[in-house]
Amino acid sequence: MVSRVIPVDPFDLVIFGGTGDLARRKILPGLFRRHCAGQIPDEAAIIGAARTQHSRSEYRSFAAEAIREFANGQPCDEGALAAFLDRLQYVAIDARGTQGWAELAGQVHPDRVRAFYFSVGPALFGDLAERIHLHGMATDDARIVVEKPFGHDLASARALNATLAAHFQEGQIYRIDHYLGKETVQNLMAIRFGNMLFEPLWNSQYVDHIQITVAETVGVGGRGEYYDKAGAMRDMVQNHLMQLLCLIAMEPPAKFDPDAVRDEKLKVIRALDPVEPHHIVRGQYEAQDGAHPSYRDAVGDPRSSTESYIALKTHVSNWRWAGTPIYLRTGKRLVARSSVINVMFKDAPHSIFGQEAGRHANVLSIRLQPNEGITLLVTIKEPGPGGMRLVDVPLDMTFAKALGPEGEDPPDAYERLIMDVIRGNQTLFMRGDEVEAAWAWTDPIIAGWKSRGEVPKPYESGSNGPGDADLLMQRDRRAWRGIKP
């Protein structure tokens, strides 16, 4: 298969927080893979900017190590690596002071697309935006990339939007949610809106319910201090699960254009019903046989009432989805790492095969990780003699690897999203009003359990989460699909 990589125009990319964990694990290795794919023109420059003093060669060594460790699937050709490292510059900078800014302004080219990646804590976003502006770098061709978390609640998200808007237009602000950069998430849109087959069935007449699960096996790890103030609702539901819900439930946009797509997503968020208290289950993981500490030990607060797990039922109140519930669940220290959306179709209205054939319903499974892919469960006759027995088989619709450039893994979400920033395509980034609407839905849920003084249910590490989450489904005569790796 011929590679269809289209090179972008020359650019300068400044990575604030260029020595941090995200730069090391995702941004630098992702850029290297794009370099190897031939997408980055020779003139493009990448400038790491962070608080620590480093020489240019020290920064290149840091980048080389990161790439060797994390550029998954990219054969690390030393010649290609040397050419990539040649692009790298480093500036020691103080986001809150004056150090480094004049030097940085001298390094970016006046006539190029310039992207500033804010890979630092959100407390610094405003300082960075202000100084980029002050030093004359906020030109029309400039854009900023903002990492999560985007605010802590509606008020803080509004304040952050206002701070960024003081220096940049909305069309220059790229709020990243790396779930949107996944091949399969975009394939979901291709499958929905590029085929006649699914769209007529994509409504409450044919879809019984939808399950969105994002399960992790890791605990809070080194993020305890941040996580204990956030919890699963703020850390995962308000952003990642909400974005997936939007793409599943939105109306077809008139065109695949950033604002057309984001207008439709916004309508979904605004149509979400408030969640009833008895439709939410919060959990907190316990220690695992001495192998892993409990949540409370991990965050160092024996009385913490922050949830590491959440399951809830919600509705999109519009014509398409009236009567089709959407169940969301996410948690840490669960039995397997698995992010999957299951669209559960209704049973056939009448079974001509009798009771012994069992109940069979179509399921469209969109797996985001691991093993990205889309399968459709269809019911067929079990092959062989012995009567009409039915069996469900998966139709695999995963073509990313088969159709992509030979021998290469499809690009990681970050690679794709960074290239979209350079191209100026905001389709896969959250708009300010979307983020605010998501907080407007989330805030009362959190305020509700705070005012009721609810504490999360303990659950065993390595399990499916608290048993109450199963009851949430059983009350509706439904069941979660298993969390499988």
373 marked as binding residue: no
Q: Which residues, 6 or more positions from 21, have their beta carbon under 8 angstroms from its beta carbon? A: none
Number of Cβ within a 10 Å radius of residue 435: 26
Nearest-approach distance from CB 18 to ligand NAD, in angstroms: 6
The alpha carbon dihedral of 21, 310, 366, 335 has a sign of positive
Q: Tell me: is residue 22 an annotated ligand-binding position.
A: yes
Q: Output the smallest distance, CB 229 to ligand NAD, in A.
A: 12
Decide if 109 is catalytic. Answer: no
What backbone phi and psi angles, to 5 degrees, belong to 94?
Answer: -110, 115
Q: At a CB cut-off of 8 Å and minimum separation 6, what does 82 contact?
A: none
Angle, CA of 147, 153 and 158, to the nearest 5°:
75
In the complex with ligand NAD, the residue whose CB is nearer, 113 or 417, is: 417
DSSP state string for 164-200: HHTTS-GGGEEE--GGGGSHHHHHHHHHHHS-TTTGG
CB of 260 to ligand NAD, least distance (A): 27
Q: Which is nearer to ligand NAD, 13 or 364 (CB)?
A: 13
60 annotated as belonging to a binding site for a ligand = no
Which residue in the list 240, 279, 292, 315 is annotated as catalytic?
240
- Name the residues that contact ligand NAD, by CB under 6 A: 17-23, 50-52, 93-96, 119-122, 124, 147-148
Paired residues of 14 in beta bridges: 47, 116
386 contacts: CB under 8 Å, gap ≥ 6: none
Backbone dihedral region of 387: left (phi > 0), alpha (psi from -120 to 50 degrees) or beta?
left
Least distance in angstroms from the C-beta of 52 to ligand NAD: 5
Was 19 annotated as part of a binding site? yes
Determine the residue with CB nearest ligand NAD. Answer: 20
Is the distance from CB of 15 to CB of 128 less than 8 angstroms?
no
The reply to whether 20 sits in an annotated binding site is yes
Check whether 407 is labelled as a binding-site residue. Answer: no
Q: For residue 77, which phi and psi values (nearest 5 degrees)?
A: -70, 125
Which residues belong to the annotated binding site for substrate? 178, 182, 216, 235, 332
Residues assigned a catalytic role: 240
Which residues belong to the annotated binding site? 17-24, 51, 148, 178, 182, 216, 235, 332
Which residues belong to the annotated binding site for NADP(+)? 17-24, 51, 148
